[in-house]
Amino acid sequence: AQKVTQAQTEISVVEKEDVTLDCVYETRDTTYYLFWYKQPPSGELVFLIRRNSFDEQNEISGRYSWNFQKSTSSFNFTITASQVVDSAVYFCALSEAYTGRRALTFGSGTRLQVQP
Amino acid sequence: SQTIHQWPATLVQPVGSPLSLECTVEGTSNPNLYWYRQAAGRGLQLLFYSVGIGQISSEVPQNLSASRPQDRQFILSSKKLLLSDSGFYLCAWSVRAVRTNEKLFFGSGTQLSVL
């Protein structure tokens, strides 16, 4: 069965600090997809990134970057020079490409608080 | 553009009362539809998903049920609410695809408090 673990329940940083959110996953499938979502205080989840299991290149989007390492089954998310607006709960998620279960498995989330 | 509407935003219900949460999607056809629940301080738990009208897959056995009477309408129901049903309920949709690699688009959620 697939599983996503976000061991960090809550992280608090001061504005402009860099912060890394950890995500470790388990799957038996060789083809799968990994996601990160952001849940701001308003509650609605916002899609950040999708990565397939065959693409291990790191990705950078502005202050956000993602480090996918298949060898350690990790898909970590780094925010550089954090800002107060980054305060939210961040979820990592996994989907297996060829199972009949057409849904994402989410981790328990990491609450990030960025203090001014 | 596609939009997803979910209502009500907040709901306070007594134990044993019925429940009906509604979700509709606009601007797309044949979406996959999902109901997730987020308990306080916890992650997202998939409750139901649907790949078509009348097709419902249940992830967790419980006193909740889901229905899809129309292509873009997804309803979460209960005949008798329990205290443990309290939580934040999120509806989501994705493009229907053979592979589960399509990203989810979420509604704004319903905060349900069962007292």
Q: Is the pLDDT of residue A100 over 60?
A: no
Region of residue A43 (left: phi > 0; alpha: psi -120 to 50; beta: else):
left
- Listed by number, the residues of chain B in 30-59 with a beta carbon closer than 8 Å to a beta carbon of chain A are 32, 34, 36, 42-46, 49, 51, 57, 59
A92-106, B3-17, B69-83: the lowest-pLDDT one: A92-106
Nearest-Å Rg of the Cα atoms of chain A is: 14
Q: Is the pLDDT of residue B101 over 90?
A: no
A57-91: pLDDT as tens digits: 788 889 999 999 999 999 999 999 999 999 999 99
Amino acid letter, residue B82: L
Cα distance between residue A99 and residue A94, in whole Å? 12
Chain B interface test: which of A53, A104, A111 (most B C-beta within 10 Å): A104
CB contact B87 to A (< 8 Å): no
A2-11, B29-38, B59-68: the lowest-pLDDT one: B59-68
Q: Is the pLDDT of residue B99 over 60?
A: no
pLDDT reported for residue A1:
72
Region of residue A4 (left: phi > 0; alpha: psi -120 to 50; beta: else):
beta
CB atoms within 10 A of CB A21: 22
Of A6, A103, A109, nearest to B49 by CB-CB distance is A103
- Nearest alpha-carbon partner for B102 in B92, B88, B114: B92
CA distance A36 to chain B (A): 10
Asked if A33 and A94 touch (Cβ cutoff 8 Å), the reply is: yes
Q: Is the pLDDT of residue B100 over 70?
A: no
Cα distance between residue B38 and residue B111, in whole Å? 9
Instruction: List the structure tokens of A104.
Output: 């994402």
φ, ψ dihedrals at B84, nearest 5°:
-70, -5
Q: CB pairs below 8 Å between A and B: how many? A: 66
pLDDT reported for residue A98:
61
Of B57, B99, B106, nearest to A45 by CB-CB distance is B106
Cα-based angle B23, B28, B31 (whole degrees, multiple of 5): 65
Q: What is the DSSP letter of A28?
A: S
For B14-42, what is the mean pLDDT?
Answer: 91
Asked if B57 and B48 touch (Cβ cutoff 8 Å), the reply is: yes
Q: Do B43 and A109 touch (CB under 8 A)?
A: yes
pLDDT band at A32 (very low <50, low <70, confident <90, very high): confident
Cα distance between residue A11 and residue A43, in whole Å? 18
Q: Do A105 and B90 touch (CB under 8 A)?
A: no
Q: Is the pLDDT of residue B115 over 60?
A: yes
Work out the mean pLDDT of chain A and round it to a whole number: 90
A104-116: pLDDT as tens digits: 889 999 999 999 9
Chain B interface test: which of A46, A49, A91, A102 (most B C-beta within 10 Å): A102
Q: Do A50 and B103 touch (CB under 8 A)?
A: yes
Q: What is the DSSP letter of B28?
A: -
Could you tell me what percent of chain B has a pLDDT over 90?
62
Cα distance between residue A9 and residue A107, in whole Å? 10
**In a 3-state reduction of DSSP, which class is residue B61?**
coil
